[in-house]
Amino acid sequence: MGSLTDRLQTLTETVKAHSHSYHVLNAPTVTDTEYDALFSELVDLEKEAGWFVADSPTHRVGEPPQAKFKTCKHGSRMMSLANAFSDDDVKAFALQTGTVVEHSHHPQAFYAEPKLDGVAVNLVYINGVLATAATRGDGMNGEDVTAQVKTIKTLPSQLAGDNIPTKIEIRAEVIFHKGDFALLNVKQLSAGEKVFSNPRNAVAGTIRNLDPRVAAYRPLAIYCHGIGASEGWEKPAYQNLVIKQLSRWGLPICSPCMVVLGVDGCLAYFKDIQENRSELPFEIDGVVFKVNSLADQKKLGVRHRDPKWAIAHKFPAEEVTSVITSIDVQVGRTGALTPVARLVPVRVGGVEVSSVTLHNFNQIKQKGICVGDTVIVRRAGDVIPEIVRVVQEGENRVPLAAPTNCPSCGCATIGTLTVFCTNGMNCPAQLLESIVHFASRKAMDIDGLGGKLISILIHSGLVQSVADLYDLHYYRDGVIHLPRMGEKSTDKLLAAIAESHNRDMSRFIFALGIREVGESTSAILASKFGNMHSLMNAKMTDLERIDGIGFEVAAGVVSYFAAPHNQTMVSRLLDFKGTKWASMPTRPQSQGSQRLAGKTVVITGTLASMTRQEATDRVVALGAKVASSVSKKIDWVIAGENAGSKLPKAEQLGLVIINESQFAELLNG
């Protein structure tokens, strides 16, 4: 029993310390997932022991208000939510609620909504006018942040419409939208100030700043999701009707929310939100299910700190901790040296992560990263792994300096923020990556020619330049005897290389891997110059006259074609018979050939009739520019199936959105 007692007391103090760091200091010492795991372990341990330590975090909400703020007493207690981490947890929750309210013979109705990851606040409106706003605090008393919350532009100072209570508490979450958070960090960085590690910390730091001008300067957002105590008003019977009433009063409501039936409805909603969460404008860490009937909510009641009628179904861990075992330096196709941290493998958001790109050596210095450090790892945008910060320094820390020599070829490097190898295609690593890019799907699309096979071809001596790919048919017997090859594989590879002769000039330019030249820019260059020889001889002034081509792009093009080894390689490629990439197809010149001149479009989603690149080529050929991001300057947004986050932003800006059939009409005049 002694060991159980010791563990219980130790774990209680550990969880309390982490809670204080999170709620009061706004400086989490563990990830949310690790905290949830410790908290769940403490709950189980208290059940096993049959007792709990005084002031246990399992029996209280948040932390007491900070002394620097005036205290606001809540009319009704603000609660936390119990967590579900699996489908079985949700099933158990549904069974428990259904049993208590006697819904075991037909599906229970739940109100489902995204779980915002921000700072909870309690808004008090008296006779329809916003009187106070307070943080959750310890559930009964919160910090008065009225002045800070009143700066939020989307929050009305007065409720609209009728049926307005004499007094009502409205529960809400203050957040940053993803785009606003990114812009805030850019401003922080340019001002030489602290960069926030995540939106939630930025919100907490903003709301708890005593100067309301800080909140006014930062683009906070707020969403209302429930009510507390109220006077002079008859509540609706259901949660979804409460939310509708809040919306009618002009309060901002989070979406997508809906009523679902039973466990199947809950799990289907969870899956849908999880698959599409990257398209949402804000960060969420799960979804919330609430019994929809307010009468049933009352019957179910509460536990120590959370209501029995609601549960938060959390997503798989998006932030975890790991240890850096080494930092390697990779050389890309442009010669850029990129440090890559190797980690003890961990699962983040359902994906195993063992390496994280650190982008440049300045980032290593800024984040204070060294081999042996314990770091927080997350998947940015649910896709790209990144190191957030160091949480525990390792022993014998030695900062990694930018190499003065290329780790691949040993030649000298240049640059400060980004470091480059000066050896060009004579560097084995640059050669490999340049051929990988040349053969990639959006470039020459040579099926079956991946990095491992390219490496084998290079080490065999058969390929020392991109142009050598088109001579491989002369060495068929040599290719057959390479590792991983054979007659069938060789013939398939040679056929794929021969088929790539059909790619057009735009894709060829992109395949060359010219610095600063992407797909859209390649299409513009192909359209304006018409053939590769004209482009190769273009001067800076010729390029900078083109709308959409700035100084950096022009310099990248001129520098690329000035290099002797690039001239030799491109000339060889242009000499191959049967290729279509030497010039743009001849187009009939008519009055309407440039009828989209001066227009700027954005293409988002999947088009059934053509690829994204083909769509880009078509509109560029008609004189339009293709932008990569949505802004007020865009003339049309071409939206295919499964359009991403650009579509709602375009709708918000009131831009003209056209579907694929309308796009076809546009192309056909």
Per residue in 395-433, pLDDT tens?
888 888 889 999 999 999 988 778 888 887 789 899 999
470 shares its domain with 384:
no
| In contact, 641 and 606? CB cutoff 8 Å | yes
Q: Is 215 exposed, middle or buried (0-12, 13-18, 19+ CB in 10 A)?
A: buried
Record the tokens describing residue 580, joined without a space: 């279509």
pLDDT tens figures, 92-147: 999 888 877 765 456 789 999 999 989 999 999 999 999 999 999 888 899 999 99
Record the tokens describing residue 529, joined without a space: 């110059």
Here the CATH number for the domain that contains residue 334 is 2.40.50.140
Q: How far is CA 588 from the centre of its chain?
A: 44
In this prediction, residue 544 has a pLDDT band, given cuts at 50, 70 and 90, of confident
Distance CA 173, CA 25 (A): 19
Choice among 262-266, 396-400, 509-513, 585-589 with the minimum mean pLDDT = 585-589
158 shares its domain with 247:
yes
Does residue 87 belong to any structural domain of this protein?
yes
265 shares its domain with 176:
yes
Cis peptide bond upstream of 407, omega within 30: no
Does residue 520 belong to any structural domain of this protein?
no
| Per-residue pLDDT, 264 | 92
Does residue 233 belong to any structural domain of this protein?
yes
Does residue 522 belong to any structural domain of this protein?
no
Does residue 662 belong to any structural domain of this protein?
yes
Here the CATH number for the domain that contains residue 444 is 1.10.150.20
* Domain count across the chain: 5
259 shares its domain with 114:
yes
260 shares its domain with 288:
yes
Is pLDDT above 50 for 615? yes
| In contact, 38 and 77? CB cutoff 8 Å | no
374 shares its domain with 438:
no
Record the tokens describing residue 369, joined without a space: 């990263």
| In contact, 527 and 505? CB cutoff 8 Å | no
Does residue 529 belong to any structural domain of this protein?
no
Looking at 371, 403, 435, which one is the last position of a domain? Answer: 403
Give the mean pLDDT of the chain.
Answer: 85
Please give the angle made by the CA atoms of 215, 217 and 220, to the nearest 5 degrees.
Answer: 55
CA dihedral angle for residue 349, residue 350, residue 352, residue 356, rounded to 10 degrees: -20
Is pLDDT above 50 for 587? no
| Per-residue pLDDT, 1 | 45
Whole domain around residue 121: which residue ranges?
Answer: 71-314
Taken in order 619, 625, 630, 635, is the CA torsion positive or negative? negative
pLDDT tens figures, 449-466: 999 999 999 999 999 999
Is pLDDT above 50 for 592? no
Distance CA 126, CA 139 (A): 21
Q: How far is CA 640 from each of CA 608, 609, 622, 661, rounded to the nearest angstrom?
A: 8, 10, 20, 10
265 shares its domain with 372:
no
Helix/strand/coil for 99 = helix
| Per-residue pLDDT, 96 | 87
Distance CA 56, CA 136 (A): 18
Q: Which of 16, 115, 492, 599 is catalytic?
A: 115
Does the annotation count 115 as an active-site position? yes
Distance CA 523, CA 521 (A): 5
* Mean pLDDT in residue range 201-216: 87
CA dihedral angle for residue 32, residue 37, residue 43, residue 48, rounded to 10 degrees: -170
Looking at 370, 403, 436, which one is the last position of a domain? Answer: 403
φ and ψ at 215, to 5 degrees? -65, -40
* Mean pLDDT in residue range 618-631: 77
Looking at 453, 474, 502, which one is the last position of a domain? Answer: 502
269 shares its domain with 283:
yes
Here the CATH number for the domain that contains residue 648 is 3.40.50.10190
Strands 284-291 and 109-116, sheet pairing: antiparallel
Is pLDDT above 60 for 662? yes
* Residue indicated by tokens 């039936």: 261
Percent above pLDDT 90 for the chain: 40
Here the CATH number for the domain that contains residue 163 is 3.30.470.30
| Per-residue pLDDT, 325 | 93
Q: How far apart are the first and last CA of the chain?
A: 83
Does residue 290 belong to any structural domain of this protein?
yes
Q: Is 512 exposed, middle or buried (0-12, 13-18, 19+ CB in 10 A)?
A: buried
In this prediction, residue 182 has a pLDDT band, given cuts at 50, 70 and 90, of confident
Q: Closest Cα to residue 239, out of 313, 297, 167?
A: 297
pTM of the model: 0.50
In this prediction, residue 221 has a pLDDT band, given cuts at 50, 70 and 90, of very high
29 shares its domain with 89:
no
* Mean pLDDT in residue range 265-271: 94
Choice among 113-117, 252-256, 368-372, 608-612 with the minimum mean pLDDT = 608-612
379 shares its domain with 435:
no
In this prediction, residue 646 has a pLDDT band, given cuts at 50, 70 and 90, of confident
Higher pLDDT, 397 or 548: 397
Does residue 604 belong to any structural domain of this protein?
yes
Record the tokens describing residue 100, joined without a space: 């208590």
Choice among 180-184, 243-247, 451-455 with the minimum mean pLDDT = 180-184
Q: Is 403 exposed, middle or buried (0-12, 13-18, 19+ CB in 10 A)?
A: middle
Q: How many C-beta atoms lie closer than 10 Å to residue 332's C-beta?
A: 18
H-run or E-run covering 621: helix 612-621
In this prediction, residue 381 has a pLDDT band, given cuts at 50, 70 and 90, of very low
201 shares its domain with 86:
yes
| In contact, 91 and 263? CB cutoff 8 Å | yes
pLDDT tens figures, 502-512: 999 999 999 99
| In contact, 290 and 79? CB cutoff 8 Å | no
Q: How many C-beta atoms lie closer than 10 Å to residue 2's C-beta?
A: 6
Record the tokens describing residue 647, joined without a space: 């579509």
| In contact, 337 and 329? CB cutoff 8 Å | yes
Q: Is 241 exposed, middle or buried (0-12, 13-18, 19+ CB in 10 A)?
A: middle
470 shares its domain with 612:
no
Record the tokens describing residue 453, joined without a space: 């096979």
The neighbouring-strand residues paired with 307 are 302
* Mean pLDDT in residue range 191-195: 78
Choice among 130-144, 424-438, 492-506, 610-624 with the minimum mean pLDDT = 610-624
